[in-house]
Amino acid sequence: MMRRALPICLFFGVFVGVLPAQEDDPSDIFLKAYLSAQQGAKLEHESRFKAALAKLRFAGSLIEELRK
Protein backbone atom coordinates (compact mmCIF):
# COMPACT_ATOMS: atom_id res chain seq x y z
CA MET A 1 0.00 0.00 0.00
CA MET A 2 2.76 2.45 0.92
CA ARG A 3 4.68 1.59 -2.24
CA ARG A 4 1.74 2.76 -4.34
CA ALA A 5 1.05 5.88 -2.31
CA LEU A 6 4.54 7.36 -2.57
CA PRO A 7 4.70 7.62 -6.39
CA ILE A 8 1.18 9.00 -6.49
CA CYS A 9 2.01 11.64 -3.89
CA LEU A 10 5.19 12.59 -5.72
CA PHE A 11 3.35 12.86 -9.03
CA PHE A 12 0.66 15.14 -7.61
CA GLY A 13 3.22 17.19 -5.70
CA VAL A 14 5.18 17.90 -8.86
CA PHE A 15 2.08 18.38 -11.01
CA VAL A 16 0.40 20.82 -8.62
CA GLY A 17 3.65 22.72 -8.19
CA VAL A 18 3.75 23.43 -11.93
CA LEU A 19 0.15 24.63 -12.29
CA PRO A 20 0.38 28.08 -10.67
CA ALA A 21 3.19 29.10 -13.02
CA GLN A 22 0.98 28.32 -16.01
CA GLU A 23 -1.86 30.55 -14.77
CA ASP A 24 0.27 33.67 -15.18
CA ASP A 25 0.79 33.11 -18.90
CA PRO A 26 -0.52 36.23 -20.69
CA SER A 27 -2.04 34.20 -23.51
CA ASP A 28 -4.08 32.17 -21.02
CA ILE A 29 -5.26 35.33 -19.28
CA PHE A 30 -6.24 36.87 -22.61
CA LEU A 31 -8.12 33.73 -23.61
CA LYS A 32 -10.05 33.77 -20.32
CA ALA A 33 -10.89 37.44 -20.88
CA TYR A 34 -12.03 36.79 -24.45
CA LEU A 35 -14.21 33.84 -23.48
CA SER A 36 -15.72 35.79 -20.59
CA ALA A 37 -16.52 38.69 -22.91
CA GLN A 38 -18.15 36.28 -25.35
CA GLN A 39 -20.24 34.80 -22.55
CA GLY A 40 -21.17 38.30 -21.41
CA ALA A 41 -22.33 39.23 -24.90
CA LYS A 42 -24.41 36.06 -25.08
CA LEU A 43 -25.98 36.78 -21.70
CA GLU A 44 -26.73 40.35 -22.77
CA HIS A 45 -28.41 39.05 -25.92
CA GLU A 46 -30.55 36.80 -23.68
CA SER A 47 -31.52 39.89 -21.59
CA ARG A 48 -29.67 38.56 -18.54
CA PHE A 49 -28.09 41.91 -17.86
CA LYS A 50 -26.77 41.40 -14.32
CA ALA A 51 -24.97 38.20 -15.25
CA ALA A 52 -23.70 39.83 -18.45
CA LEU A 53 -22.34 42.79 -16.52
CA ALA A 54 -20.55 40.48 -14.10
CA LYS A 55 -18.92 38.55 -16.97
CA LEU A 56 -17.89 41.73 -18.78
CA ARG A 57 -16.45 43.24 -15.61
CA PHE A 58 -14.49 40.06 -15.01
CA ALA A 59 -13.15 40.20 -18.57
CA GLY A 60 -12.19 43.84 -18.02
CA SER A 61 -10.34 43.00 -14.82
CA LEU A 62 -8.35 40.35 -16.66
CA ILE A 63 -7.41 42.83 -19.38
CA GLU A 64 -6.34 45.32 -16.70
CA GLU A 65 -4.18 42.59 -15.19
CA LEU A 66 -2.46 42.17 -18.56
CA ARG A 67 -1.77 45.89 -18.81
CA LYS A 68 0.36 45.82 -15.64
Cα-Cα end-to-end distance for the chain = 48
User: What average pLDDT does this structure show over 16-41?
Assistant: 84
Amino acid at 36: S
Q: How confident is the model at residue 15 (pLDDT cuts 50, 70, 90)?
A: low
Q: How confident is the model at residue 24 (pLDDT cuts 50, 70, 90)?
A: confident
Domain ranges of the chain: 23-68
Query: Is the pTM of the predicted complex or chain greater than 0.95?
Result: no
Q: How confident is the model at residue 18 (pLDDT cuts 50, 70, 90)?
A: low
Question: Max CA-CA distance within the chain?
Answer: 56
Contact 26, 67 (CB under 8 A): no
